[in-house]
Each structure stands twice: as C-alpha cells, then as structure tokens.
Amino acid sequence: MRRRSADRGGVELIAAGLALVAFVILPWSYAGSQQSGLAWATGGRWLMLAPVLLSLIAGLLARGGPNTAKLRIVLTGLGLFLLVAYAFFGSWLDGQPLISHGLGAAVLAGALLVQGTRSLAAAGDFKADRWVATTTWAIVALVLLFVFFPVVRALASAFLDTKGNFDLGAFAERFSAPEIWNANCLVGRGGCGVVPNTILLGVCAGACSTFLGLAFALVAQRGGLKNTKVFDALSLLPIITPPFVIALALVVIFGRTGIVTTFLDRTFDIPRSRWIYGLPGVLISQVLSQTPLAYMILRGALQGISPSLEEAAQTLRASPWLTFRTVTWPLLRPAVAAAFLLGFVESLADFGNPLVLGGSFEVLSTKIYFAVAGAQHDPGRAASLAIILLALTLTAFWLQTAWLGKKSYVTVTGKGDAGLPLPLPKPLRFAALSVVVPWVVLTILIYGIILVGGFVTDIGRGAMTPTLQHFVTGFAVEIDKSGLFFSGSAWDSFFVTVTVAAIAAPLTTVIGILTAYVLSRHNFVGKWAFEFLTMLSFAIPGTVIGVAYIIAFNVPPVEVAGTGLILIFCFVFRNMPVGVRAGLAALSQVDRSLDEASTTLGARTGTTVRRVTLPLLKPAIIATLVFSFVHAMTAVSAIIFLATAKYNMATVYIVNRVEAGEYPLAIAYSSLLILFMLAVVLGIQRVVGERKIGRRSVASPVVTMGAH
C-alpha cells in the first residue's frame, strides 16, 4: 500500500522561485536603502545578478534528480560563494562601497543553501537524507555567520593599526604592554598586570567555590539531614540572579558606608575602609555566585557513585573514614577537578562583579570593556585583550576535555542498584557543616538585603525609612484618558528585555535541539568540525562576544549594531550550546531504534523528528526554553556592548544606575527581576514538573565536550 513518489526536485524549484521573487521585490538591505536586489544590480552592481541566475538554473535542473545533482551542487555552491564574496569583498571587485544585507539577501542565501544541500543529498551525501543535509548546513551557515565570523573579525582587528592597516608591530606593542603581564604583586610591592590578576582571581574563585560546593554536596547527600529543601533553593539561585547583584549587596553590607562597616565603626571603633573594592570583594561575590554550580556538579557525581561500592568496602572491614578516603573520594576526584575548571572559566568570563567591586583591581573582562566603552575607545587593544582571554578560556576547556574526559568513572549502570549510601564520617560531617552554615547565613543575608533594599530610603547609607519611592521612580504607571501610561524610567528597558528574551528563547531552542539531534543521530564527513563550531560559543566569554559583535556588525555587509536584532542574535548564539547539551543528554536516553522503527514504517526524517523524536524530547525542550529566556534576562557581559538608548536592557540599565551611584533604584529593579524570574521558573516547573533546569546543567561540560 505504501510509498509516495520519489522526490522530483519540486522543493528546489520552489526555493529558486522564492529567491527570484525576493530578489525582485523584497528590500535587499537591512539598514539604509530599501531598494531591492534587482534595483541594486541594475544600478551598476551587475555582479549581484549572478547568484540569483545560478539559483534559477539549478532550480530548473532539479527535475533531473541524481543525474544533475553534481552540476546543481557546483551551481549553487558557486552562487553562494559569489553572494558571500560580493557581500564581504565586493568593493575590491567593482570599487563600490559594501552594502548592508537584509531580508532579500537572506532569502536568496537560504534558497541557495536549500537547493545545494538537497542536491548534496541527491548525490548520496548524508545517507541521501535531504532533511539532515539542509538542517546541518543551515546550522553551519548560521554559526559561521554569527559566531565564527564576528570573533575572527574582531580578533583580527588586534593586528590593525588605528588607520585600519595590517601592522604586526601594533599587535606586538599592545600584546606586550606591561599593564597586561606585569607580575609585581607576586614578588613584592605594586599592583599586578591584568593577566596575573585574572588568573589569580580565577584560581582562587575556582578553588573556593569547589571547596564550598563539595561541603554543600556532602552535607546534602550524606549529612543525614531530614530536610534538604534549602539546598534545592540554592541550586535555583544562580539561574535567576543577574551576575552583579551579589556584588551590589556586598557593597551595601561591607562598603565604606555599609551596614556591617558602620556597625563595626560605631561599636568597636574599627575604622571604615574600602577593602571590599578589589580582589577580596570580587572573589567573595564570585564564590557566592559560583558555589551553587560546583554544588550541582558534585552532588550529581555523589549520586552517581553506586552505594554498593561503599558497601563492598565496608564488608571488607573498612571503617567509614577509610571507605570515604579510599573509595568515595577517589571516585569523586574527576568531578572535583571539573568543578574547579568550571569555576575558573566562570570567573574569567564574569564581568558584572569585577565591574561593580573591582576598584583598581582590573581583570581582562572589565579591561576589554573599558578599552571599547571608555574614553579611550581602542578596539585594537580590546581585541588583543580578547585574544588573551579567549586563549585562557580555551586552554581551560582543552584541559577539561583532554585530561578529564578520559578520567570520568561512570559507575551508574542501567541496573537497579540497591543499597544505602554511606553516611559521612563524624569529623568530616562536622567540618562540612561548619563551612556550610555560615555560608548559608551569608547567602540569606545577601538576598534579604536585595529584597528589603528596594523598599527603604537608602540601605547603602543605613537610611532605613520605608518608602516606595524607588519603585515609583522606576515603575510608575499612570492612568490617563488614553489608557495606561508606563511613566517609570525602567519600564522601557524591562519591556525590551522581556520582548527580546521571548523572541530569542524559541529560536535558541530550535537551533540548539536540532543541532543535538543531528549530532547524536547522524554521521557525516566533518562531524567533529561541526561539533566544534556549535560548541565554540560556549567557550567564548561573553565580553569577547560583545566586543566581536560590536566590531563586526557595525559595518556592512551585516549591519545590525544598534538594533534589537543584534540583541536577539547575541542571545540565540550565546545560549545555543545549552540547548545542544540538554538535547544531547535527552537524546542519549531515547533509543535509536525508535527513529529507525519510524523510518522503516515509511516516515521520512522530517516526519520522524516531528512525530517521534521531538515529543520524546519535551522536557529538554522546555528546559532550554526556560533557560534561554531567563538567561537572556540576566546576562550582562556581552549585552552591555550592544544595548543602546533605544534598545536598553534591564541588566544594563541596572549597571548604569550602579555606576551613577543610584543603589536603591538598582536594588529595587534587581529584586523585581529576581522575583519575576522566580515566578517564571517556578510557574513552568509547576506546569511541566521539570526540575532539572540549570544555568550550567548538572552534566558538566566534560560529558558533552569529551563525549565524541
């Protein structure tokens, strides 16, 4: 009974037709002129005709199926090449300035891509699977354009002098500046350069957060506590807290006029000081925000240790302490190393805390920001610093995959494993608790400050008169004849943030989950390169991405800086790896034979994905949606470069208030954001019952980055 007719190239012909229509009717550019591609071409840019003609010829040849496949690959490949070449290097060819590319160009490029990839499949690539061919290349094209291109373009500007000419000397000079490498602080007096600072901070933050995370994990899993809800709450906090909020709270507590400082000054006559500004403050705030991540990794690892291993040790007459030392701890070590490296990388990437608390203690991320945003405006210097930051981060990731990837002890098997985990040895339990309890108190204090701070006159100066004035300033709503009027100064940024996040989240999810599907279910030549590309933006610190976007997308051919679009692109490709990893983890739980069963029943790949794979991935899809939405609302490091007066973001607005010294308004806004996101996350958890939503999922990067 079954089986439709084979593909007659209808889709390719339609694509070519759409390309032609788009070329004639749609505006070619995003910024500037609204004229169509045809108008540009007839206006003297004749080279622009070539891609659309090639697309048409290939479309007409598509009826030939496999017989003309090779020819169509060449035609569409040439078409894409010419389109891209003219877009980026057209001025070398016809001497006219580059133009911006928008909707018309995107449709033409998309059509060529669809035609070319379907021809590839017709010629037998991708196991003759057209859907996989198109999906894979579409993802590659997007990642190349929105991750690879901006980063390379931006890093290249490290080698350009102020006039834009290639100059190795300029790079050498920027790269070797003593303010970067100077290590005076290690040998004696004076401050260190920015690189030693960054590494010092990273190592300390990684070590401290791992230590604390371990203590928390041991107490939660093995401490014999009845109620571990407080730990669950702990794992939720970093998801919903914008990165600089903790720094803000620390200023309110320990700053020169802070609550504790004032108390010590008045009661014990301990003089006020600015000790919190600098390494100690940044370190404390980073450890506060990263401990939950380390906790989640280590708790996962502890759960993964089969209790029967410890029971085996005990039946062999090992005391609890000996069992812990010789069985539990060695099995835990890879996770400890993973948590440390992750803490290190997070510290390198952190921008909000050093910005608020750094003082004269400069790290790479803030230095990069000030090189672009400050009075100096020196993109070349920012790019040089970005190269160093990127190298440090990639080294850490490389260490993680090369070294830890081989060292993970997977002790969880499919079989049910009865047995009780070993309770902690008494001294260890006491030690862990004595670390955990003060830290919980500090965390509660900090979130208390944030929640209360918005409702009093000026908590930073100890003025505790209750007031709603800050919320009125930020979030006043007036009702007049024309209806509601959002007159508060923060409303604009809030609405933009919610809108951008709501648009970016589904896009992130689609591209992330599809990437995971292609990675886990299909093999093709160059898969490792595909995997590397899609994971790239995970390894790139937000500051580097921010600089890269502002440098690369400020000029044609892709001129989107200053628009809402660049914010969306930035979020989609920043958060995409999270979708990829959530998808990969979920797909590894779904038996491949389900896909194959669908295929043998006559369903094409597209149908299989829609009817079998995606329904089974629902939890991962929802987790990715929530994560990317929430992360888009809390991110600051990349977005601070891209937000403008018109398209301002909540976090950027808050940071600006902090820099202007308007702490109460910043705190009020932060508390509102935290409550809003708490409502979103809890609401969705309530609806779908999915609890595993994390900024960094519990399956640490080791799992996915080292998996293949």
Partner 1 sequence: MAKAASVEFIGVEKKYGQVTAVRDVSFRVEAGTLVTLLGPSGCGKTTTLRLVAGLELATGGKIMIGDQDVTALGAAERDVSMVFQSYALFPHMSVVENVMYGPLASGASRKEAEAMAREKLALIGLSGFEKRLPSELSGGQQQRVAVARAIVLEPSVLLFDEPLSNLDAKLRRKVRDDIRDLQQRLGLTVLYVTHDQQEALAVSDKVIVMDNAVIAQEGTPADLYERPRTRFLADFIGEANIVEGRFGADAGGVTFAAGSTSFGLGDIPVPEGASAVALRPDRIQLTLDPAGAFTIHRVAYVGHAREYLVTAPWGEMLVIRPLRERAIAAGTRVSLEIDLGAAIAISG
Does 127 sit near partner 1 (CB under 8 A)? yes
User: Quick one: which of 47, 49, 431, 616 contacts partner 1 (CB under 8 A)?
Assistant: 616
C-alpha 157/C-alpha 167 separation (Å) is: 10
Of 70 and 127, CB closest to partner 1: 127
* DSSP notation for 615-649: HHTHHHHHHHHHHHHHHHHH--TTHHHH--SSS--
Does 3 sit near partner 1 (CB under 8 A)? yes
Helix (H) or strand (E) holding 484: strand 483-486
> Quick one: which segment of 27-35, 78-86, 595-603, 697-705 binds partner 1 (CB under 8 A)?
595-603
Name the minimum Å distance from CB 519 to partner 1: 18
Three-class SS of 665-686: HHHHHHHHHHHHHHHHHHHHHH
> Quick one: which segment of 76-84, 376-384, 508-516, 598-606 binds partner 1 (CB under 8 A)?
598-606
C-alpha 640/C-alpha 351 separation (Å) is: 10
342: how many CB neighbours lie within 10 A of its CB?
Answer: 25
Name the minimum Å distance from CB 662 to partner 1: 52
Does 124 sit near partner 1 (CB under 8 A)? yes
CB 170 within 8 A of CB 380: yes
Does 415 sit near partner 1 (CB under 8 A)? no
Name the minimum Å distance from CB 596 to partner 1: 5
User: Quick one: which of 267, 315, 465, 600 contacts partner 1 (CB under 8 A)?
Assistant: 600
> Quick one: which segment of 160-168, 232-240, 611-619, 682-690 binds partner 1 (CB under 8 A)?
611-619
C-alpha 642/C-alpha 574 separation (Å) is: 13
Residues 537-556 that bind partner 1 (CB under 8 A): none
DSSP bridge partners of 376: none
DSSP state of 557: T
* Tally of CA atoms within 13 A in the half-sphere of 211 that contains its CB: 11
User: Quick one: which of 93, 412, 597, 679 contacts partner 1 (CB under 8 A)?
Assistant: 597
Name the minimum Å distance from CB 509 to partner 1: 19
578 three-state secondary structure: helix
CB 543 within 8 A of CB 386: yes
CB 460 within 8 A of CB 664: yes
Does 601 sit near partner 1 (CB under 8 A)? yes
Of 100 and 608, CB closest to partner 1: 608
Q: Is the peptide bond preceding residue 541 cis, with omega within 30 degrees of 0?
A: no
Torsion sign over Cα 256, 260, 265, 266: positive
Name the minimum Å distance from CB 592 to partner 1: 9
Of 172 and 601, CB closest to partner 1: 601
Of 185 and 603, CB closest to partner 1: 603
266 three-state secondary structure: helix
Of 6 and 687, CB closest to partner 1: 6
Name the minimum Å distance from CB 522 to partner 1: 12
Name the minimum Å distance from CB 593 to partner 1: 4
Name the minimum Å distance from CB 402 to partner 1: 23
Name the minimum Å distance from CB 506 to partner 1: 21
Name the minimum Å distance from CB 13 to partner 1: 21
Size of the site for partner 1 (CB under 8 A): 27
Does 465 sit near partner 1 (CB under 8 A)? no
Residues 564-593 that bind partner 1 (CB under 8 A): 591, 593
> Quick one: which segment of 37-45, 288-296, 346-354, 610-618 binds partner 1 (CB under 8 A)?
610-618
Of 70 and 611, CB closest to partner 1: 611
- Strand duo 463-466 + 456-458: pairing: antiparallel
DSSP state of 482: T
DSSP bridge partners of 536: none
> Quick one: which segment of 29-37, 432-440, 599-607, 655-663 binds partner 1 (CB under 8 A)?
599-607
| Spatial CA neighbour of 517 closest among 578, 601, 580 | 580
| Spatial CA neighbour of 241 closest among 86, 443, 418, 88 | 443
C-alpha 586/C-alpha 581 separation (Å) is: 8
The residues of the shown chain that bind partner 1, judged by CB under 8 A, are 1-4, 6, 124, 127-129, 591, 593-594, 596-605, 607, 611-612, 615-616
